[in-house]
Amino acid sequence: MATQVKEYVGRTPLSNPIFDIVYKSPKYIAVNKPFDVCVDGDDREITLLKHLAVKYPEHAGQYRLVNRIDYATSGLVLTAVTREAANKAGNLFQSRETLKQYLALVWGHMTPLYIEGKEGSKQTEITIDQPIADDNNDSNSFKMMIGTEANPGRKSQTIIRVLEHGYYNNKPASKVHMIPHTGRRHQLRVHLMSLGHVIVGDETYGPKDGDCPRMMLHSWKLSIDKLGLDLETPDPFDGLLSSSPSTSSSTSSATTQGSTSEQVDVPEITKDTLDSNDNNDIKEENSTSTISTNN
């Protein structure tokens, strides 16, 4: 009797996600959010805000999200303990006085590889100036798209640096470093898709893939000079790309080590070398100050 193969319908949420506290002060707490976890939501059993309420109960009910990242995205989320602190940080996002940096793995070998240096850096950076709009053909009103004449959307810009070529699950893939200058929903995912390079494991803009343990998009660094914040999380994709298809990394973990692939050093980025990104659109909802995201 033939064995019936169960159809893959999507990833199962983490049952025991690990939240790492990256920074804590009397006004702010920065968290390295795991993938496939919501930042908030009364209908969710596990969220970042609920975790903070349990870990630091003295501020339960007071936490406010300064920035958001998607359910499937991992990485830095900044929360404020007071409304005043949230508004102060939110205004800095709106006035482009913050710098956010992301890492991702994408399908295919993106070119050119980034070359660090005054002359080579600009020549090997990819700048995408494409508006982001709601995808009116999406019945779930979730997906975004590149704007058109009929559906122009909003101005959006992303700088991309290709750091590494290799293979993931025996298929060509690249590691990219992204600096968004605007903060549209799904901006990074849609901009990459527009270049023909969907993020590995992105089941919204790419196919469902039971061999990928997660969407490979990570909020890596956050700098806010006026708050004295210069935050960084570990690179969860370090070593995931291999040098050849036969030795590509296992999918059992997003931190599984593979063999060496073609790569370049990740440069240090400051607001002196790059205009700060604008993760804007602050909104008040249920007395919580939040900022829209680009992932």
Least confident of 119-133, 158-172, 223-237, 276-290: 276-290
Residue range 120-143, pLDDT digits in tens? 677 899 999 999 999 999 888 899
Give the pair of three-digit tokens for residue 280. Answer: 């804007």
70, 135, 202, 278: the catalytic one is 70
Q: Is position 211 annotated as part of the catalytic site? A: no
Q: Which residue has the higher pLDDT, 60 or 255?
A: 60
DSSP reduced 3-state for 32: strand
Residue range 277-294, pLDDT digits in tens? 333 333 223 333 445 466
Mean per-residue pLDDT, 232-261: 71
Residue range 204-222, pLDDT digits in tens? 999 999 999 999 999 999 9
Domain boundaries, the chain: 20-291
Whether the pLDDT of residue 276 is over 50: the answer is no
Whether the pLDDT of residue 198 is over 80: the answer is yes
Give the pair of three-digit tokens for residue 173. Answer: 């893939």
Task: Give one DSSP letter per residue of 83-109, joined into a string.
Answer: HHHHHHHHHHHHTT-BEEEEEEEEES-
What is the band of 269 on the pLDDT scale with cuts at 50, 70, 90? low
Residue range 74-113, pLDDT digits in tens? 999 999 999 999 999 999 998 989 999 999 999 999 999 9
User: pTM value?
Assistant: 0.84
20-291 adopts what CATH topology? Pseudouridine synthase (3.30.2350)
DSSP state of 182: S
What is the pLDDT at residue 279? 38
What are the E-state strand segments in the chain?
Answer: 20-24, 28-33, 64-65, 74-80, 99-107, 126-129, 132-134, 144-146, 157-168, 171-180, 217-224, 229-232, 262-263, 282-285, 288-291
Average pLDDT, the chain: 86
What is the band of 14 on the pLDDT scale with cuts at 50, 70, 90? confident
What is the pLDDT at residue 141? 85
Mean per-residue pLDDT, 148-171: 96
**CA–CA gap between residue 258 and residue 291 (Å, rounded):** 36
Mean per-residue pLDDT, 36-43: 94
What is the pLDDT at residue 293? 63
| Percent of the chain topping pLDDT 90 | 70
Whether the pLDDT of residue 251 is over 60: the answer is no
What is the band of 12 on the pLDDT scale with cuts at 50, 70, 90? confident
Whether the pLDDT of residue 171 is over 80: the answer is yes
Least confident of 30-34, 166-170, 177-181, 265-269: 265-269
Per the rule left: phi > 0, alpha: psi between -120 and 50, beta: everything else, 211 is alpha
